[in-house]
Amino acid sequence: MASKSKRVTSPRSSSGNQNLSEPTEVPRAAYTIREFCAAHRISEAMYFKMRAAGLGPREMRTLRKVAISVEAAAEWRRERENLAAEASDVGQV
Domain boundaries, the chain: 25-91
Residue 10 has what DSSP assignment?
A: P
Which position has the higher pLDDT, 85 or 12?
85
pLDDT band, residue 23 (cuts 50/70/90): confident
- 25-32: long-range contacts, CB 8 A cutoff, minimum separation 24: 27/3, 28/3, 28/4, 28/70, 29/69, 29/70, 30/60, 30/67, 30/68, 30/69, 30/70, 31/67, 31/68, 31/69, 31/70, 31/73, 32/65, 32/66, 32/67, 32/68
**Quick check: 13 pLDDT over 70?**
no
CA-atom Rg of the chain in angstroms: 19
Q: pTM for the whole thing?
A: 0.70
Give the architecture (CATH level 2) of 25-91. Orthogonal Bundle (1.10)
